[in-house]
Amino acid sequence: MVDVNILLDALVYSNMLALLSLSLTLTIMTLKVANFAHGDLAIVGVYGAYTLMVVMGVATYLTLPVAFLFGGVYALLCYVLIYSPMRRRGASFVMLMIASMAIDIATRSLIQIYADLMKFHLKVYSRAFIFNDVMLNILGVEVRGIVVFSTLSVAVLLSLLYILLMKTKFGIAMRAAIENPPLAEVLGINVERVYAISWFLAGGFAGVAGFFLPFRIPTSPDLGFIILLPIFAASILGGINSLPGAVIGGYVVGISEILGTYLLSQPPINMSTAYRPAIPFAILILTLLLLPRGIASIWSRGD
Amino acid sequence: MSVFEVEGLRVGYGKLEIIHGVSFKVEKNELFVIVGPNGSGKSTLLKGLFGLASIKGGKILFNGEDITKLPAHERSKKGLAYHPQLNNTFENLTVRENILLAGYFLDRDELERRLENVLEFLPEIRGFMDRKVRTLSGGERQMVAFAMNMIKEPNTIMFDEPTAALSPKMADLIFDRILKLKTEYGLTVVLVEQNAKKALELGDRAMLLVTGTIKFLGPAEELLKHEDLASMYLGLRG
């Protein structure tokens, strides 16, 4: 029997992966290139929130919108200053991908410098830091705050994104600009502006996911690169171009990773938990071999 | 005032220049036809006029306003519409969604009013409003693209080979509606067309474009009767 705490941890981790996979997919749909700096957006978000906590003494969970803002603004800057000008000048798929790798390295280096500045000027742990959680009493049951707040965040953000995409004029323009950018432009839609806002939203979602990291594991500037593998596995499992697929992919990969690691570490297998990255890696490979268009192909089949 | 006043326009992609300094005017409520052999730059010229290809030099005035540096979406807001030859619909959406998308900037009442007008102009699409575009024939797709432009109620519309690969019956239907835009709706029409004979019969004035330069500019009827040019570049014989 699996411990309930393991199940709750799987839920929290999956909530984070769903947001990260969804936001990565949104950037891929607009830029048509995999963004290798996506994990760093989560770390930018969490460092933004952490700074506010330290400097202003704001309660941990109240800094969640700041994580959204930091992740969003950083993603927007990456798009407006680097990706968009490169694309306008005819940069190829490979050039844009290499640019995203360069942004990843540069971002991690900048966060390292920022971590040093935090340490020297604010006198706080700026690497391998964790956030203390609160316990909430829900109908007489004690539940960790991260379980409630991460689940609520996913529910609220997904609902808002659904309303935005399906019920608003901007959302219609966004769907049009993603499916056929030249035609959207012909119809009078400012595709560049739509893409820039999409990147802001994607960065914001990643920032929110990043905010929950220090509740689970010690957080450092390089963590964004380490979490990249499960994010890509979830997005590819979801079908790479499907937002609902990305969310489902996030939950499948997240639950498989946590429960799989737990079960395989039990007797008689006793496998080391160090093999944990093998699970998203196996999902990624199996998806590419058996279902190259991801789980989204299941519901788009026969249209 | 002319609808288009184009001076020394040079258009291309990247470092490649395809249109080499063309100058011409398109008058209000005129059906202006652009013909020429394959690869002469007809589609590139339209893309340049609409802001979808790089302008290397020259000037474009649209209704007296300099639009040379405006992006395509800004030109669209000036009442200029462009009907591309390919990829002119959102294939994963229904016909209704495509048309509504084209008018996304309108409020609901205005959109409904315009949709009724469009359906009156193109009653054929009433029968497949809720089908996904990818299930439609080539001719039906062209009608949808036509409707998407009409809902914007433009004052000028540019067509890039709207009858390419269509059956003769469907091509006649499209030509009929294009003519109606001019005669009944008072629109200015710029038409790039492979079926040179049919287009010149419909058009008021024409341009013969060969390797990015103008070989003829004048009344369409005159080009149709010009034996040398018509036979050399358009494959038309007396």
Query: Cα–Cα distance between B32 and B24 in angstroms, integer?
Result: 11
Do the Cβ atoms of B77 and A188 come within 8 Å?
yes
Residue A16 pLDDT exceeds 60: yes
Has residue B116 been placed in a domain?
yes
Do the Cβ atoms of B102 and A187 come within 8 Å?
yes
Do the Cβ atoms of B104 and A182 come within 8 Å?
no
Interface test with B, best of A187, A191, A192, A301 (most B CBs within 10 A): A187
Residue A302 pLDDT exceeds 60: no
Average model confidence (pLDDT) across chain A: 94
At A259 the pLDDT is 96
Query: How many CB atoms lie under 10 A from the CB of residue B222?
Result: 13
B99: closest chain A residue by CA: A187
Mean pLDDT of A197-206: 97
Residues 186-215 of B with CB under 8 A from A: none
The rounded Cα B221 to chain-centroid distance in angstroms is 20
Residue A303 pLDDT exceeds 60: no
Residues 184-203 of A with CB under 8 A from B: 185-191
Query: Cα–Cα distance between A81 and A275 in angstroms, integer?
Result: 38
At A301 the pLDDT is 58
Q: How many structural domains compose chain B?
A: 1
Residue bearing tokens 């059906």: B31
Would you call B64 an interface residue with chain A, using a CB distance cutoff of 8 Å? no
Residues of A in contact with B76 (CB under 8 A): 185-188
Q: Parse chain A into domains and list their residue ranges.
A: 4-296
Residue A277 pLDDT exceeds 80: yes
Residue range A107-117, pLDDT digits in tens: 999 999 999 99
Has residue B32 been placed in a domain?
no
Residues of A in contact with B100 (CB under 8 A): 172
- Looking at chain A, the whole-number percentage of residues with pLDDT higher than 70 is 99
Provide the residue range defining the domain that includes B112: 88-153
Residues of B in contact with A189 (CB under 8 A): 73, 104
Render each residue's pLDDT in chain B as its tens digit; 238 residues.
799 999 999 999 988 999 999 999 999 999 999 999 889 999 999 999 999 999 999 999 999 999 999 999 899 989 999 999 888 998 878 898 889 888 877 888 999 999 999 999 999 999 999 998 989 988 899 999 999 999 999 999 999 999 988 888 989 999 999 999 999 999 999 999 988 888 999 999 999 999 999 999 999 999 888 877 777 767 766 5
Among A169, A179, A189, the residue with its CB nearest the CB of B73 is A189
Q: Can you give chain A as a three-state secondary structure string?
A: CCCHHHHHHHHHHHHHHHHHHHHHHHHHHHHCCCCCCHHHHHHHHHHHHHHHHHHHCCCHHHHHHHHHHHHHHHHHHHHHHHHHHHHHCCCCHHHHHHHHHHHHHHHHHHHHHHHHHHHHHHCCCCCCECCCCCEEEECCEEEEHHHHHHHHHHHHHHHHHHHHHHHCHHHHHHHHHHHCHHHHHHCCCCHHHHHHHHHHHHHHHHHHHHHCHHHHCCECCCHHHHCHHHHHHHHHHHCCCCHHHHHHHHHHHHHHHHHHHHHHCCCCCCCCHHHCCHHHHHHHHHHHHHCCCCCHHHHHCCC
- Looking at chain A, the whole-number percentage of residues with pLDDT higher than 90 is 85
Do the Cβ atoms of A176 and B101 come within 8 Å?
yes
A4-296 is classed CATH 3.40.50: no
